[in-house]
Each structure stands twice: as C-alpha cells, then as structure tokens.
Structure 1
Amino acid sequence: MSANQNKKEDWIKHDESSMSKFFRARFLKADGSLKSGRISSSIWPGIKKVWNFVASNKQWTVLDFIQNARWNFPQVVSGFRTEILEQVRSIHISGMEDVCLWCPSSVGVFTIKSAWEVSRRRSAMLGWSFLVCQSAIQPRQAVFGWRWIRNKLAVDENLKRRGIPLLSRCDLCGKAKESKTHLFYECRFAVSLWNLFCQCFGVLWPNFVGDVQLISWWKLQAKSVSFKVVWNKGFVLIPVFIWMERNSRRYEVVYVSEHFCFARIKNEIHSQTQAHSGVAVSTEDLVCARRFGFRLLTTEIGRA
C-alpha cells in the first residue's frame, strides 16, 4: 500500500493543488524530471522507486503531435488513417495546456486502486477456491476450508514435522496416528459423515484419500445434483465439524456420535438455507430437501 501511495504522490506533479506544488518544488527540476542526488526526506526513496512505473503508465493527450504550435504527424500508409489525420489538422490548436492521462484507468484519473491492480502480482485462479470462498458459508468456515486444503491445521503429523515431539493417536477412532489424510478421509467417524451427507443426495461416497481426487469429484457431482449450493456447503462443513469434534474430544472430553454430529451439520445448513430456489426434478430431490429441513420455492416433479 505504501508503494501505491508513493505512486499517488508521484502522479500529483500534474495537479495544481498546494500539496502538488510543494512536491514539485521539493523533488522535481524545472523540466519535470527528478532531482539528482540525495534528498533528506522519508518518502524520497519510495518516489524514486516508482518513478519509472508511473512514467510508463501515463500519456499526454496530443502533446507528442504538436510542434511549434502546429500539428506534426508521422507518415502513414493507410488511406483511412491519412483521411483521419487530415481532419485532425483542420482543428485549430488553442493556447490550452495539454492533459496528462493515467492509462490504467478508463477515465484517465489516477487512483491508488488502479495502481495496485497494475502492480500487484496475480496468481492463477485455484480450482477449489469457489468451493471454499462461498457467500453461503460463514467467513470463519471459509478460512478453515482454506487452511484444511493447504494442510495448515495443527494435526499431530504437522506438529511433529515442526519439531514438536508427541505421541499421536486419532481422537475419533483411537486406531491410528493422527494425520490430515487419516483424520478427514480414513477415520471411521469421518467416513461416516461423508457417507451420511452423500446419501442425502443419493450419491455414493467413493472413499477418497486425497484432496485432488475429492475436489475433482465434488465439482463433477455438483453439475448433476439439484441443490448445488447445499452440496457445495458440505465440502467445507463436513471437515469443519470433524475438526470441532476432534477438539471437543481432545480438550473437553465430550463425545458425540456420528449421527448426532451429522444432525448438527444439517442444523447448520438449515439455519443458513431455510428456503431454497432449486427446482426439484424427482421424488428423491424432495426427500433430499426434507432431510436437510429447507423448503422449496419451486417443487416441479419431473415425469419419468
């Protein structure tokens, strides 16, 4: 943000405000170039750093084509362009000053937002981002989903990898060491939750053991289910409640069954989606809606 603020300060050399005049007198020569040497100022290094960036993203309206108060265009071969240039030459050049435009903006006005959009590093869109960053789930749940996919949770396997010695045991089944793969894919408790959720949609859970397979399969199934929003919620809510139950057993010594935990997931979905606008196309879809406890705004049953 500070770098983009420096770009703003660099740009105001074209403005006529009192602050702009101060900056021009402090940092610029008479010809508009930066002063050489060292200037005692906390923002001077930042202005020098972004000077070339701002210069490369600005342009004057017509100053490059005016010489000695007359139009001066380069030679062109296209007859269409020649005709346009002849029409431009007929325009009288007034004594008005030229206007400097900021190229990244559609209106030519510099903003810190536009400078940030040009200078920031853009990463490729992740294939699972829309499953995690959903408007239908709470922000804290979306953050958990990101940490889960990125393997940033404090499972025993990750803690030992960081050099913390400890004895590891899965708190949900007590039959294996705790790792991300076991806790969310292989543990009997987790497999039961995935199965219960998929059964509500009439989908068979294929017992995945990795994120890549799960993401590809989940996105593919989302194209065929009628209640896509509810289906995508399950991608994050099931790991959330697995983790909550794990922490409850480890730190509070409070245990609940898989079916009771799944009832909590359904209550969470019901509290967020009390009315759903999806079109029920079969009796199974009506049963699915009833299992999750939301009513349909459209209940058209497709004929066989």
Structure 2
Amino acid sequence: MEARLATSKEVKDLGKSWRAILKLRDEARKFIKFEGIGSKICSRAIYDAASNPEAKVDFVLKDKTWIWRPARSDALLTIQCQLFLIELKDEDKALWQATKSGKFSCAATYTEIRDKSSEVEWWKLLWFHLTILKHSFIGWLAVINKLSTLDTMTRWGYSDDSICVFCRNFLERRDHIFFECSFTRRIWDDMMKLCLVSNAQFILVDLMAWGSRELKGKGLRVIACKLAQWPMVYHIWLQRNAIVDEERIWTE
C-alpha cells in the first residue's frame, strides 16, 4: 500500500513552491510505512492466498471483514491468526520512519537526508547558549567562505569592481575584508584589547584554531570573546553591504 502524496492533476493546481516540494514525493515515500504485522510475507504464503506481491489489503478485506481463502500452509495460517487480532479502523495509520513517534518532523527528516560530515572543532565558537543567531549565521557563512565578496561576484560576472570598499587598495577577499584591511584591522585591534587578548590571530582559519584552543569553558572572558567576535563580523559585513548596495557609509 502506498501513501497518498497528491496526484498529477492536483499538482498542476498548486503553486510553484508546492510543485517544487512535491517533486520529492519519491524521496518521501521512503520514509512512510503503515502500521501492521511488521513481518514480511513469504512467496509461498502469497501463492497460497491466490494473491501477488503487489496486492493491496483490500484484496482480502471487505466491509471490515477478512475474506481469506482457507489456509494451505503454516505461514498463511500464522498471518491470518495475527490479522484477526488487529482492530480494523476506518483509516490506515501512516508512520513517518524518520522519527521514533511516527509523526513528521522537519528536523528529523533533514537529519536523515542531509550529507553527513565529520564534526568540526570550531562549532562551539559559533553556536552557544548566549549566541545572537543573526551574528552567528553570518559568521558561519564567513567561516565556510560562502559570503558573496566582490572577488566572487566578479568571477560570477555580477561586478566589474573587485577592490575592497573600505581601503580601496586590495582585492576584496574574505580574509582581507574582515582582517587584513587597514579599516577593519584597527577595529579588531581595539576589540581584542577590550577582551584582554594580545595573541589572537588575524586570519580567519587561524582565528578559529586559536578560539578552539583558547576559548573553552564558560568563564566571563571566554563568553565575552565569543560574543564580541561575531557581532564584529556581522557589522563589518553590514557596513560593506551598505556601501556596495546603497552607496551609504556608516560611522565606526
């Protein structure tokens, strides 16, 4: 028996977003099962029941009554005995296999279908109980180098100018705009002094390695450094976007 996930005619009547989602119906079917006996039926039992492997439950069910032919094997007899113990209801109960409860969960389903990678050491620098999510999100994009810096935009053909909008001297790359630029480096120096840090690195890869090594525990200095880093990245990127997109300059 298959789950009902919408027919072709119904899909045409839906909006573009829903049509895109429903293209995943074949993937969704992998996660759906129906509550039943739970054991596979052998080919001999299927033959004895005068059925076939693709048959549905209604082949042997009419008006909530089982209409099996007399059993000619122990396997079929066992199946019939188990079925008579099942309470017949008006509707089948579909279970979502990605969760223990059988109920659909976006988080559990995403965990099942996403590509699994090894855990990185620096995740605790970004995601902790006092984090500000918008700051950590932009910080995460910076760490994995997915922000649309001007050097990337130029390669994509969306920009003719790839020079840093702050210093106007060097190519705008991730490490330059956040750490090497004379404008942002001065801000980082001041912030690190306030956090009583004198040995922090100013290349993002090295900064993450330093943070993973030095910023452990829940002490005041550790929390202060974590809370200071990502607002810095966030507001530098915000200022950069204001200049690029709106030609507007904010004060330090």
* TM-score w.r.t. length of structure 1: 0.49
2:54 corresponds to which of 30, 35, 41: 35
**Pair 1:229-2:248 in alignment:** no
Distance (Å, rounded) in 2 between the aligned partners of 1:145 and 1:204: 22
Q: Deviations over 1:228-276 (max 9, x none)?
A: 222212231111111122233442432423xxxxxxxxxxxxxxxxxxx
Quick one: structure 1 residues 115 and 133, their matched pair in 2 at CA, closer, same or farther if it must change by over 3 Å? closer
Instruction: Output aligned runs, 1:151-300, within 5 Å.
Output: 151-209=145-203, 211-223=204-216, 226-250=220-244, 251-257=246-252
Shift of 1:176: 1.7
Distance (Å, rounded) in 2 between the aligned partners of 1:186 and 1:173: 10
RMSD value, Cα:
4.2
**Pair 1:6-2:25 in alignment:** no
Contact 1:185 1:191 in 2 (8 A): yes
User: Which residue identity is paired with 1:223?
Assistant: K
User: Which residue identity is paired with 1:186?
Assistant: E
Query: SS of the residue aligned with 1:10?
Result: strand
Shift of 1:5: 5.0
Contact 1:222 1:228 in 2 (8 A): yes
Q: Deviations over 1:265-304 (max 9, x none)?
A: xxxxxxxxxxxxxxxxxxxxxxxxxxxxxxxxxxxxxxxx
Quick one: structure 1 residues 4 and 135, their matched pair in 2 at CA, closer, same or farther if it must change by over 3 Å? farther
Distance (Å, rounded) in 2 between the aligned partners of 1:206 and 1:9: 51
Contact 2:200 2:207 in 1 (8 A): no
User: Which residue identity is paired with 2:210?
Assistant: W
- Percent identity reads 18
**Structure 1 residue aligned with 2:6:** none
Distance (Å, rounded) in 1 between the aligned partners of 2:238 and 2:98: 47
Shift of 1:202: 1.6
Shift of 1:110: 4.2
Gaps of 5+ in 1: 16-27, 40-65, 70-94, 258-304
Deviates further, 155-164 or 133-142:
133-142
Query: SS of the residue aligned with 2:220?
Result: coil
Distance (Å, rounded) in 1 between the aligned partners of 2:175 and 2:224: 24
Q: Deviations over 1:93-136 (max 9, x none)?
A: xx87789xx9x8998x6455598489534322232222223342
* TM-score w.r.t. length of structure 2: 0.57
Number of aligned residue pairs: 188
Contact 2:121 2:212 in 1 (8 A): no
Distance (Å, rounded) in 1 between the aligned partners of 2:216 and 2:32: 50
Contact 2:201 2:207 in 1 (8 A): no
Distance (Å, rounded) in 1 between the aligned partners of 2:99 and 2:148: 46
Q: Deviations over 1:138-171 (max 9, x none)?
A: 3322221221112221211111122335123222
Quick one: structure 1 residues 106 and 162, their matched pair in 2 at CA, closer, same or farther if it must change by over 3 Å? closer
User: Which residue identity is paired with 1:254?
Assistant: I
Distance (Å, rounded) in 1 between the aligned partners of 2:98 and 2:164: 55
Deviates further, 131-140 or 176-185:
131-140
Contact 2:164 2:172 in 1 (8 A): yes
**Structure 1 residue aligned with 2:14:** none
Contact 2:216 2:222 in 1 (8 A): yes
Shift of 1:187: 0.6
